[in-house]
């Protein structure tokens, strides 16, 4: 039971070689593109959603911050498609791996922080010491603010991994219970199966929300440093 429960979180291999890279490169292939002057409804809807998302995230940024718009839109599309593909049966979700989420969070966080120290070093250093702090508390507050700054990419990665992993485990447990109850009690099976369908809908929403939250927090870190 334990082996089957966590089998979907094991990185897959093909002939002994890790297949995670191919899985990570697969979602961009699902994004439709058009070579025609007049787009179809799917492309039009896709472009409308991208414009709506980018406008909502980039409104608070100045000119320098808006140079990140393409990267942030690509990030939210990648995380959302990866999370949704992970809901398919017998599939692997790369965003359940903490290492991958750290690989996304650390460079983006570091880029935003370095940009802040290069362009607004006084404001960046002012975050380490709030105005009006009593003198005896200055060393402690500087240490606390430094730790809170360094822990930001870890919080981003852990939040995404924990939410996606918890949803997958819960769906697996309820699915196993539905299969086990199907030979025992049919009314109970129908009730559990209804719960499973509702949970699947919830997980689709969670997959999209977590992609938005991850990208929005990166956008807020960028806003604080530009």
- 3-state SS string over 83-112? HHHCCCCCCCCHHHCHHHHHHHHHHHHHHH
pLDDT for position 47: 81
Residue pair 161/101 in contact by the 8 Å Cβ criterion: yes
Residue 208 has pLDDT above 60, yes or no: yes
Q: Which of 29, 23, 37, 114 is nearest to 68 (CA)?
A: 114
pLDDT range class, residue 2, cuts 50, 70, 90 = very low
pLDDT for position 146: 82
Most confident of 119-133, 153-167, 175-189: 153-167
HSE of 183, CA atoms in CB hemisphere, 13 A: 3
pLDDT for position 107: 92
User: For the segment 77-100, what is each residue's pLDDT rounded down to a tens digit?
Assistant: 888 888 888 888 777 788 888 888
The CA angle 79-57-110, to the nearest 5 degrees, is 65
Q: In the chain, what are the domain boundaries?
A: 1-225
pLDDT > 90 fraction of the chain, expressed in percent and rounded: 3
């Amino acid at each position: 039971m334990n082996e089957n429960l966590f089998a979907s979180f094991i990185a897959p291999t093909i002939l002994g070689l890790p297949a995670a890279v191919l899985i990570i490169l697969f979602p961009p292939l699902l994004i439709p593109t058009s070579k025609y002057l007049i787009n179809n409804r799917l492309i039009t809807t896709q472009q409308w959603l991208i414009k709506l998302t980018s406008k909502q995230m980039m409104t608070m940024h100045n000119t320098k911050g808006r140079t990140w718009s393409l990267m942030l839109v690509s990030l939210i599309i990648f995380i959302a498609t990866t999370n949704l593909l992970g809901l398919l049966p017998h599939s692997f979700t790369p965003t359940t791996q903490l290492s991958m989420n750290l690989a996304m969070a650390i460079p983006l966080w570091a880029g935003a922080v370095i940009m802040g120290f290069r362009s607004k070093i006084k404001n960046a250093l002012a975050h380490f010491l709030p105005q009006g702090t009593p003198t005896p508390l200055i060393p402690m507050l500087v240490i606390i603010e430094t730790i809170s700054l360094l822990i930001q990419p870890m919080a981003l990665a852990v939040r995404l991994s924990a939410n996606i992993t918890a949803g997958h485990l819960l769906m697996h447990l309820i699915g196993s219970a539905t299969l086990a109850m199907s030979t025992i009690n049919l009314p109970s099976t129908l009730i559990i199966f209804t719960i499973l369908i509702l949970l699947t809908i919830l997980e689709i929403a969670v997959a999209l929300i977590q992609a938005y939250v991850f990208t929005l927090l990166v956008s807020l870190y960028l806003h604080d440093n530009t």
